Structure 1
Amino acid sequence: MSSSIVFTAPLLVLATVAALTGAQQFACPHDYGFYAHDIACDKYWACDLGVATLKTCGNGLAFDDTDPENLKENCDYLHNVKCGKRTELQPPIVVGNCKALHGIFPDDSECEVFHSCWAGEGTRYQCGPGLAYDRRSRTCSWMDQVPECKQQRADALALTGIQCPEAGRLSAVGSFTRHAHPDDCRLYYACFDGVPREYGCPIGTVFAIGQAEGEGQCQDPKTVPGCEDYYGDIDISVLKTLGL
Structure 2
Amino acid sequence: MNSRCLLVLAAALGVAVAQESFKCPDDFGFYPHHVSCDKYWKCDNGVAELKTCGNGLAFDATDSKYLTENCDYLHNVECGERTQLEPPISTPHCQRLYGIFADETKCDVFWNCWNGEASRYQCSPGLAYDRESRVCMWADQVPECRNEEVANGFSCPAPGEVSNAGSFSRHAHPEDCRKYYICLEGVAREYGCPIGTVFKIGDADGTGNCEDPEDVPGCEDYYGDLDLKTIRKSELLAGLQQDGQTRATQPKQLKPRPQKEN
Per the normalisation by structure 1, the TM-score is 0.84
2:103 to 102, 107, 121: 107
Distance 1:6 1:110, change over 3 A: closer
Question: Residue 182 and residue 160 in structure 1: after superposition, are their counterparts in 2 closer, same or farther (change >3 A)?
Answer: farther
CA distance in 2: counterparts of 1:42 and 1:48, whole angstroms: 20
User: Residue 68 of structure 1 corresponds to which residue in structure 2?
Assistant: 64
Q: In 1, Cα distance between the equivalents of 2:146 and 2:15?
A: 53
Q: Which has the higher contact order (CA 8 A, sep 6+)?
A: 2
Larger-gyration structure (1/2): 1
More helix by share: 1
SS in 1 for 2:147: helix
Matches of 2:198 and 2:50, distance apart in 1: 58
Calculate the aligned-residue CA RMSD, in Å. Answer: 2.4
Structure 1: 5+ residue stretches without partners: none
Correspondences of 1:166-181 after superposition (within 5 Å): 166=159, 171-175=162-166, 176-181=168-173
- Secondary structure at 2:133's aligned position in 1? coil
Letter in 2 for 1:128: S
1:163 maps to which of 129, 145, 156: 156
Deviations 1:197-219 (A, max 9, x none): 22222433322456876345444
Corresponding residue pairs, total: 234
Matching residue within 115, 126, 130 for 1:130 = 126
SS in 2 for 1:151: coil
Q: Contact 2:39 / 2:50 at 8 angstroms: preserved in 1?
A: yes
Q: Is the 8 A contact 1:160 1:181 kept in 2?
A: no
Kindly provide the CA deviation profile for residues 191-244 of structure 1, in whole angstroms up to 9, marking residues without a partner as x. 12222222222433322456876345444434433x343201111223453352
CA contact (8 A) 2:108 2:127 kept: yes
Alpha-carbon separation, structure 2, partners of 1:39 and 1:174 = 58
Identity of aligned residues (%): 54
Deviations 1:71-119 (A, max 9, x none): 1111110001111111111121121111110001111121111100010
- Unpaired segments of 5 or more residues in structure 2? 237-262
Q: Measure, in 2, the Cα distance between the counterparts of 1:50 and 1:58.
A: 25
Corresponding residue for residue 214 of structure 1: 206
Structure 1 residues 138 and 30, CA gap change in structure 2 (3 angstroms): same
Q: Which moved more, 1:50-59 or 1:142-151?
A: 142-151
What is residue 241 of structure 2 aligned with on the other side?
none
1:136 Cα deviation from its structure 2 partner: 2.2
